[in-house]
Amino acid sequence: MSLQNPVFIPGPTNIPEAVRRACDMPTIDHRSSLFADILKPALDGVRRVMKSADAHVFAFPASGTGGWEAALSNTLSPGDTVLAARNGMFSHRWIEMCVKLGLKVEVIETFWGDGLSAEAYGAALEADTGHRIKAVLATHNETATGVASDIAAIGAAIRAAGHPALFFVDGVSSIASIDFRFDDWGIDIAVTGSQKGFMLPAGLAILAVSDRAMAAADSARLPRGFFDLRDMGTSNVRNGYPYTPSVGLLNGLKFTTQMLLDEGLDNVFARHARIAGGVRAAIAGWGMTPCANRPEWYSQTVTAIRTPTGFDATKIVTHAAETYGVAFGVGLGEVAGKVFRIGHLGMLTDVLALAGIATAEMAMADLGLPVKLGSGVAAAQDFYRATPAQAQKAAA
């Protein structure tokens, strides 16, 4: 793998040089006032990116998976029932975690390639007249299939059902890349990580938490120690941590949130949509289709591409890495071997996207797939030339 080439996996994403410099800092005393100058702006920046006025924001030294566990363990008790939909590997893994923690899960099985159904959530909640369901889980952007779901509609369905369940959203591969509205959508806990849209190394599990979810922590009986929101909140108010923080990553988070806000969130979202549109144009040029079954479910951060039946799509990823030094994503779970994935989030431009598209073409042609060299590149070029580039103030 060549370190000179950008990666086209859906995370960890490419790190802008300025962000790397922000993370590369001398050791400081994290109990001094210097740390307060890092922590507060970082958490405030996340709150603004998530479009919340007053959510409690936490950054644990962990990955997004740790954020999932923090959401569950701080608000629920053994034997509680949660409602979740499974439409890909990452929604599946969150459900698996619920089971391991001793929770009961009512699963809305969803085809891998489809978005989550607000109607199905609403029907399940309306049927739950005894309010057994204590939390609703939804994955905003299913990274395994390149499917984005309508979280606003699911939040509206919860409210329409008049159900008191908490609403938890996995925004790991959407937040800071796709429009996300914590307050407007009625979310109680949103989970993300540092290594996707925030363009940082992996190592921070980032959560936004509502007052209602914080109150649930007082009666929840699932064990938690490291991920205790109350301990973290008490320390954060004093500009500290209950243990040793990841100071360099937090300084990077302070930097990247300001970078995103300076670019303008609408411009950030438009840039991701533009790059994704070019990738999808290339896929059509190859005579292939996305794994996502409808345009309204197309993700703006990652596209999973279906390859011809009988062909092992993993070979494309392996060949591209070994021959051209470029990383793409493999298929996972039910779509393993059936798709390969192009991540197009974080520090990317249409020019960089064209390099990834060209490399994917070469790999497929090398492996004997009926892909004409230049077909996808030309289609993407036509898209980028025809699409206004008003959002090209990308991360530098």
Summarize pLDDT for 206-222 with one digit per residue, the tens.
999 999 999 999 999 99
Query: Beta strand 81-86 with 104-109: parallel, antiparallel or unpaired?
Result: parallel
Interatomic CA distance for residues 113 and 144, integer angstroms: 9
- Whether 344 is in a domain gets the answer yes
Q: Residue 3's pLDDT is what?
A: 81
C-alpha 193/C-alpha 189 separation (Å) is 13
- State which of 203, 235, 262 marks the end of a domain: 262
Question: For residue range 45-79, what is the model confidence (pLDDT) as tens digits?
Answer: 999 999 999 999 999 999 999 999 999 999 999 99
Same domain, residue pair 122 and 227 = yes
Q: Is residue 49 within a helix (H) or strand (E), and if so which, with residue range?
A: helix 33-49
Residues 118 and 155 in one domain: yes
Are residues 291 and 227 part of one domain?
no
CATH of the domain at 330: 3.90.1150.10
Structural domain ending residue among the three candidates 237, 262, 287: 262
State how many domains the chain has.
2
Below-70 pLDDT ranges, the chain: 1, 390-396
| Residues 233, 114 share a domain | yes
pLDDT at position 394 is 43
Instruction: List the CATH number of the domain containing 156.
Output: 3.40.640.10
Q: What's the confidence (pLDDT) of residue 259?
A: 98
Residue 136 lies in a domain: yes
Look at residue 309 in the predicted model and tell me its pLDDT. Answer: 96
One-letter-per-residue 3-state SS of 174-209 = CCCCCCCCCCCCCCCEEEEECCCCCCCCCCEEEEEE
Same domain, 109 and 185: yes
> What pLDDT is attached to residue 1?
64
pTM, 2 dp: 0.96
Instruction: Report the amino acid identity of residue 226.
Output: F
Within the chain, strands assigned E span 56-61, 81-86, 104-109, 133-139, 141-142, 147-148, 166-170, 189-193, 204-209, 289-290, 302-306, 329-330, 339-343
Domain extent, residue 109, equals 17-262
Residues 6+ apart with CB under 8 A from 371: 286, 287, 361, 364, 365
The gap between the terminal CA atoms of the chain, to the nearest Å, is 23
Q: Are 151 and 180 found together in one domain?
A: yes
Residues 169 and 242 in one domain: yes
240 in the same domain as 163: yes
Q: Dihedral of CA 382/296/186/77: which sign? A: negative
Q: Residue 133: inside a domain, yes or no?
A: yes
- 3-class SS at 137? strand
Gap between the Cα atoms of 374 and 90, Å rounded? 34
- Strand partners for 60: 205
Which of 262, 279, 312 is the C-terminal boundary of a domain? 262
In a domain, 11, yes or no: no
Measured distance CA(281)–CA(103) in Å, rounded: 43
DSSP 115: P
* DSSP collapsed to 3 states, 206-252: EEEECHHHHHHCCCCCCCCCCCCHHHHHHHHHCCCCCCCCCHHHHHH
Is 91 part of any domain? yes
In a domain, 202, yes or no: yes
Comparing C-alpha atoms, which of 228, 155, 158 is closest to residue 190?
155
CB 156 within 8 A of CB 118: yes
Q: Would you state the pLDDT for residue 393?
A: 47
Do 272 and 254 sit in the same domain of this protein? no
| 203 and 314 belong to one structural domain | no
In this structure, are 198 and 336 located in the same domain?
no
DSSP state of 373: T
Cα distances from 273 to residues 28, 110, 136, 248, 384, in angstroms, run 39, 25, 28, 30, 11
Q: Report the distance separating Cα 396 and Cα 289, nearest Å.
A: 32
**Given CA atoms 323, 329, 333, 335 in this order, what sign does their dihedral have?**
negative
Establish if 5 belongs to a structural domain.
no
Among candidate residues 149, 161, 179, 195, the one with its CA nearest the CA of residue 12: 195
Looking at the fold, whether 127 and 243 belong to one and the same domain comes out as yes
Q: Report the DSSP pairing between strands 289-290 and 189-193.
A: unpaired
Strand, coil or helix: 329: strand
Q: Domain for residue 335, yes or no?
A: yes
| pLDDT for the residue numbered 2 | 73
